[in-house]
Structure 1
Amino acid sequence: MRRPTLALLLAAMQIAGGSALAANSVPVADAIWFNGPIITIDERQPDAQAVAVKDGKILAVGDKQQVLKNQGPATRMLDLKGSTLLPGFIDPHGHVSMVGFQAASANLLPPPDGANNSIPKLQETLRNFEQQSPIPAQFGVLFGFGYDDSQLQEQRHPTKFDLDAVSQDVPIAIVHQSSHLGVLNGKALELAGINASTPNPEGGVIRRIEGSQEPNGVLEENAFFTALVKIFPKLTADQAVDMLSAGQKLYISYGYTTLQDGRSSPDQVRTAIKAAGDGKLLADIVSYPDILTKGTKELLVAPWYHPTNQPVVYNQHLRIGGVKLTLDGSPQGKTAWLSQPYFKPPQGQDASYAGYGVVKDEDVLAIYKEALANRWQILTHTNGDRAIDQLLTSMKAAEKAYPGVDVRPVMIHGQTLRKDQVAQLKQLKIFPSLFPMHTYYWGDWHRESVLGPQRAENISPTQWVLKEGLKFTTHHDAPVALPDSMRVLAATVNRTTRSGYVLGPEQRVTPLQALKAMTLWSAYQHFEEDRKGSITPGKLADFVVLSANPLTVAPATLNDIQVLKTVKEGQVIYERPAKVAQLPPSFGMHGDPSLPTPPGIQAVAQGDGDLGPALDVIYDKLAPAQP
């Protein structure tokens, strides 16, 4: 047997030594977050002392000394200084494109998000916006967003006569906070082609002056949507991107790193595609175009859409997640489809009025079958329990035709979800995205006018869902309400109305459960639980930094917590300044206005689109105050 030579022994020792060094080497982090509570939303490691990030993903989580092994000479050490780090919030239902429209409209919201508690105040706001903003002149229409008849002293909708008192020459259109109703003045009705001989469209109502067929200006559902399309100005591609960017700005100021456009028109999808191509998307956007709108199906192609049996893929922060179907309206607007009559029927309706559906049963079934056949995830708007019955019955029939095909369908809102319907959701694998934020904004209205004291107690019944073994998500439906993450959290935990009444105390959940609904469970809803929703090694470094720990503060103070930073794949995309500039109350952008201007805004302001200068005026007013 030959003895190994000295050279061979030395070579073997070098190889062994090199292997040992490789085994002991630790990847060097780009950044390490430390010195504050870290809520991971990962049950295997609920909290941590430090988080390391590399190449936009989470590298290590846990004990500070262990994570510091990933520190290198170039690692950025990010001191939380006692603030709290969580996974970035994932929007389970909202309309980011419409939030951009809200930013270009007069702010007609009631307190605490606006100042409109009467029709004279609303008229004053519209007049001020027309005088202060260049947008109405450039649009050729004066838009207002967010009025709420339940919060007006008059306890009624404004009419065309109220808006004509602002102007008879300028078309005026105001949008109800629910976005399911609106009011047009006489000029806008004329442009929309609505008069005494115009019939109600299918799935919509033109309200009339009592004793005649003359429209009073209030339009419901499809009547309003159709009119809005006719009077809405044609935007250039750059103008539309500006509007989307305005919505994105507001979302990220509240800690959202994944945004939803939950009922996109084909044009809004094309705008998002342009924004992605222009590099203007700071956060991820998941779009669900309206399946009832012509042109939607043609959009469901790569690279923007991939069927549910394929991996999730974003293209420059954008993907199409599936489609949206709307089966009824709004409970606070009294257009939701209930199985029992409204507690107090709206104007012009008798005591048997229970709202109405907007899509025929046979059409719903056909859409669900098509969704399963093509593996489209489908979101279904159902506020009333009768609309939920339509969802359940139709989905059950569709699944018989396509057994075993799971597209993780989502029930959106489910505000009047009955207890007997929850088990059916579980059986059909329908994911509930609930709206407990309504307990704050409209809980009193539900008790006093919409549903009555008994039915109102169990709107958005989160505990019924949990006890059935289901996950749920909790949303804001912006621009119906601001995309205020802490208001969502507080309402889900406390269920306290504007008046201080606790609506359905047995439906309250813990702060941790509510946070899961805004992070990990929302990631699951979007088929993204393997890459988002918790601070877990290998997932994206999407974070939000809060001023206090939601798990330790008094639940009543949850809404006082501020978002300090929003982090997308390791990069800070929003940081709250020490001082915040104040907007005139008539302007439409709300929340913290110190938002980073997406690249390209200044180019638009220099003449690439007529809307650019108008929005740039808003952005100038939104700039942070100098210290």
Structure 2
Amino acid sequence: MKHGVIAVAMASLLLTACGEQAKTTTQTQSSTSLAEYADVIYYGGDILTMATEAPSYAEAIATQGEKIIYVGDKHTALTYQQDHTQLVDLQGQTLMPGFIDSHSHVYGVGLQAMVANVLPPPDGQASSVEQLVQILISATSDAKYQPFIAKTNAILGFGYDDAELDRYPTKADLDKVSTTQPVIIIHTSGHLSVANSVALKMAGINANTENPKGGVIRKMPNSDEPNGVLEENAHFALLFALMKNFDVELQDMMLEQAQQLYAKYGYTTAQEGRATQEGYDAMDRASKAGSFVIDVVAYADMATSTDFMDSAYNSPTYTNQFRIGGVKLNFDGSPQGKTAWLTHPYHIAPEGQDEQYAGYATFDDQTAFNYVETAFKNNWQVLTHANGDAAIEQFIDAVEHATNKLGKADRRPVLIHGQTIRQDQVARLKDLGIFPSLFPMHTFYWGDWHVESVLGHPRADFISPTQAVLAQGLMFTSHHDAPVALPDSFRVLDATVNRTTRTKQILGADQRVEPYTALKALTSWAAYQYFEQDNKGMLKPTMQADLIILSANPVKVPREEIKHIKVHQTISRGQVVYQASQ
């Protein structure tokens, strides 16, 4: 059996009411066909269906194989019971559809899981550059990180956040970790990195190296000498070069560890939001080996990696829990890294820039328009990263241009992040059928930084404006963009509902939404974003048996308690893929 080991773990948790089981089986054998018997019947807790406009509950749910076969009252559910049926008494826990990841990078999460954690609290311990350096030094002798170091001869850290550090790290800091091996740390946004002297030399970067188009090599004061900080395409060039050295065994380990992390947080569908050839090859191997335990949808990096778009995986259906959903574009960078493309200057310009600095575009308008038009012509769903309002405008204009040229259709182009979207732009989304996948989790991780340094009031109050989008009659999704942060579903939910910063300030109180609405953004609306609304996101007969069991009901607990809810069990296609320790 594909998930035989997982099934054993599931069996240890199931409760069997033997007397009731025997009685019910006798009563229903003559009236229920064998095909209608259930493998599992759940009851005894809040079963939140997500199938209606307001919260609605069922007494029981029955599953068979990968599908839900019944949702309703317990008495009828028990008519689907036979000798092998497992009865699960939820004992007051909450059961609901599995979460659907609307945007992240599953391949990058695997990398994050295998390298040093240089995130700040609460997800890591790097609050100063000195702490960051010590974490990297410790990682060189930590068995957990040896597979990566041994296979790449590089020391890598993920998640440094200059908004939480005492200063910006440079190559001089990383040279303290090693002067013989490449040392690279990746910014929490995934859009910048810092490289030590060895890594810069490996990449051919020196005082004579010009900035690549759509990227910046930061310099030392009053010098052309690089200080180690690489932005956008300069960073991606270094990262992609490093990734080419990942052997098959390392790539497969990354994908396995990533899935475990998603399942821990209740995700039964994950996204690879910028697939390169190497990432695609790893996912192809996983599909062929039957090693996916959750569904994964990949979007090819359109600028570099569309060769595999003619693959049979480019389909609305999954092959061994993997499919290609479309293509991904990046129109700008990171607001917290101050590389997002704004129409008005940053509140405080980054070091080395004048006070009129407003970030920069990845592509000129013609190139951006051509990419979107090509995606439409090929019937590829296009996901476009655009954080700054200038980049958002470019994407909206590109969609409008392609629509005018090719005609209207249900293409569901997705605006990824859309953090500084303006009210006038929100209205245009609806007119053009653009689906917004927003990033309100920023209000916790970088909300204070947005107020103090990035945007200032009132722009910071309107980041990822979920209520404004809702008021236009639009659905939206809410994501974590892991490995930018951990794929923590309840941190996502908490931020969408409460918008509370690290210093416990509420950022944009009028943009908060109700818990049930926020849950839709993780379930039924996310399924719609993927064109999978007929198969996922709700508890209904014939829907996929993607379920999660929670410590509490997100709709019923006080709003401020949402972030403390834990996932007790994750079930993907009827199989338990995560079980919390008792």
Q: What residue is the counterpart of 1:328 in the other structure?
A: 332
Find the residue that maps to 2:354 and give its secondary structure. Answer: coil
Q: Which residue of 1 aligns with 2:224?
A: 213
Task: Say if 2:345 is the partner of 1:341.
Answer: yes
Correspondence for 2:555 among 546, 551, 557: 551
Counterpart CA distance in 2 for 1:232 and 1:27 is: 48
In the alignment, which residue of structure 2 is the partner of 1:536?
A: 540
Q: For the aligned residues, what is the CA RMSD?
A: 1.4
**Structure 1: which 4+ aligned runs deviate by more than 4 Å?**
21-26
What is the aligned partner in structure 2 of residue 303 from structure 1? 312
Alpha-carbon offset, residue 366 of structure 1: 1.0
Normalising by structure 1, we get a TM-score of 0.86
- Alignment of 1:47 onto 2:60: no
* Aligned-partner SS, 2:531: coil
Report if aligned partners of 1:192, 1:231 keep a CA contact under 8 Å in 2: no
1:176 counterpart letter in structure 2: H
Q: Is 1:125 the equivalent of 2:135? A: yes
Structure 2 residue aligned with 1:620: none
Distance 2:387 2:519 in 1: 23
SS of alignment partner, residue 218 of structure 1: strand
Q: Secondary structure at the match of 1:565?
A: strand
Offset, 1:232:
4.2
Alpha-carbon distance in 2 for matches of 1:377, 1:105: 32
**Residue ranges of structure 2 left out of the alignment (5+ in a row):** 1-29
Match of 1:567 among 551, 556, 571: 571
Q: 1:23 to 1:172 in 2, by over 3 A?
A: closer
Contact 1:140–1:233 (CA under 8 A) maintained in structure 2: no
Pick from 202, 219, 225: which aligns with 2:213? 202
**Matched-pair identity in %:** 50
1:376 maps onto 2:386 in alignment:
no
* Cα distance between partner residues in 1 of 2:351 and 2:69: 59
Give 1:150's aligned residue.
163
2:112–2:158: 8 Å Cα contact kept in structure 1?
yes
Aligned mates of 1:70, 1:452 — CA distance in 2: 58
Looking at structure 1, the residues matched to 387 and 240 of structure 2 have their Cα atoms a distance apart, in angstroms, of: 24
Partners in 1 of 2:574 and 2:391 — Cα distance? 42
Matched, 1:29 2:38: yes
Q: Distance in 1 between matches of 2:244 and 2:367?
A: 31
| Equivalence for 1:286 | 297
Whole-Å separation in 1 of the counterparts to 2:433 and 2:243: 39
CA 23–259 in structure 1, closer or farther in 2 if over 3 Å, else same = closer
Query: Match for residue 411 of structure 1?
Result: 415
Q: Name the count of aligned residue pairs.
A: 549
Distance 2:242 2:416 in 1: 29
How many Å separate the matches in 1 of 2:231 and 2:66? 46
Matched, 1:174 2:182: no
- SS of structure 2 residue aligned to 1:59: strand
Q: CA deviation at 1:239?
A: 2.2
Q: 2:124 aligns with which of 114, 120, 132?
A: 114
Cross-structure match for 1:593: none
Q: Is the 8 A contact 1:413 1:435 kept in 2?
A: yes
Tell me whether 1:487 sits opposite 2:491 in the alignment: yes
Counterpart-to-counterpart distance in 2, 1:542 and 1:24: 24
**1:475-501 deviation digits (Å, cap 9, x = unpaired):** 000000100001111111000000000
Say if 1:123 and 1:26 are closer, same or farther in 2 by CA, change over 3 A.
closer
Match of 1:441 among 432, 439, 445: 445
Letter in 2 for 1:148: D
Q: Matches of 1:22 and 1:115 in 2, distance apart?
A: 60
SS in 2 for 1:381: strand
Q: How much has 1:81 moved relative to structure 2?
A: 1.1
Q: What is residue 468 of structure 2 aligned with on the other side? A: 464
1:405 Cα offset (Å): 2.7
Deviation, structure 1 residue 385: 0.5
Deviations 1:392-450 (CA, angstroms, capped at 9, x unpaired): 11110111111023311000000001111011000000000000011000000000000
Q: State the SS of the aligned residue for 1:366.
A: helix
TM-score in terms of structure 2 length: 0.92
Q: Which residue pairs with 1:363 in the alignment?
A: 367
Q: Post-superposition shift, 1:370?
A: 1.1
Q: 2:300·2:309 contact (CA, 8 Å) conserved in 1? A: no
Q: Deviations over 1:11-62 (max 9, x none)?
A: xxxxxxxxxx779999221110000001100118821110011122111111
Letter in 2 for 1:128: S
Corresponding residue number in structure 2 for 1:273: 284
SS in 1 for 2:163: helix
Cα displacement string for residues 564-618 of structure 1 (whole angstroms, at most 9, x for unaligned residues):
000011111110112xxxxxxxxxxxxxxxxxxxxxxxxxxxxxxxxxxxxxxxx
Q: Are 1:424 and 2:435 an aligned pair?
A: no
8 Å contact kept, 1:191–1:230: no
**C-alpha distance in 1 between matches for 2:319 and 2:174:** 44
Structure 1 unaligned residues grouped into runs of 5+: 1-20, 307-311, 579-627
> Closer, same or farther in 2 for the Cα pair 1:26/1:173, shift >3 Å?
closer
Is the Cα contact below 8 Å between 1:436 and 1:495 reproduced in 2?
yes
Q: Does 1:183 align with 2:194?
A: yes
CA distance in 2, matches of 1:434, 1:250: 22
Counterpart contact for 1:258–1:284, Cα < 8 Å: yes
Matched, 1:75 2:85: yes
CA deviations 1:207-252 (Å, max 9, x no partner) are: 0011010000000000111122334462222321111111111111
State how far apart, in whole Å, the 1-side matches of 2:291 and 2:261 are: 14
SS in 2 for 1:82: coil
Question: Corresponding residue for 1:18?
Answer: none
Q: Distance in 2 between matches of 1:365 and 1:526?
A: 23
Please give the alpha-carbon distance, in whole angstroms, between the structure 1 residues aligned to 2:457 and 2:57. 41
Q: Compute the displacement of 1:260 (Å).
A: 0.2
Number of the residue aligned with 1:396: 400
367-376 vs 172-181, which moves further: 367-376
User: What is the aligned partner in structure 1 of residue 115 from structure 2?
Assistant: 105
CA distance in 2 between partners of 1:25 and 1:195 (Å): 71
Give the whole-Å Cα distance in 1 for the aligned partners of 2:364 and 2:575: 47
For 1:342, give the aligned amino acid: Y
1:564-603 alignment, distance < 5 Å: 564-578=568-582
Q: How far does the alpha carbon of each residue in 1:254-313 deviate from its partner, in whole angstroms, 9 at most, with x for none?
A: 1000010000102101110101111110000000010000xx33312352013xxxxx21
Deviation readout 1:366-407 (Å, 9 max, x if unpaired): 111111111100000000000000001111011111102331
Task: Answer yes or no: is the 8 Å Cα contact 1:372–1:405 preserved in 2.
Answer: no
Alignment-derived partner of residue 316 in structure 1: 320
The Cα of 1:66 is off from its aligned counterpart by 2.1
* Separation in 2, partners of 1:55, 1:255: 19
| Cα distance in 2, alignment partners of residues 437 and 176 from structure 1 | 17
**Residue in structure 2 matched with residue 241 of structure 1 by the alignment:** 252
Q: Does the aligned pair in 1 maintain the 2:191–2:333 contact within 8 Å?
A: yes
Distance 1:242 1:115 in 2: 25
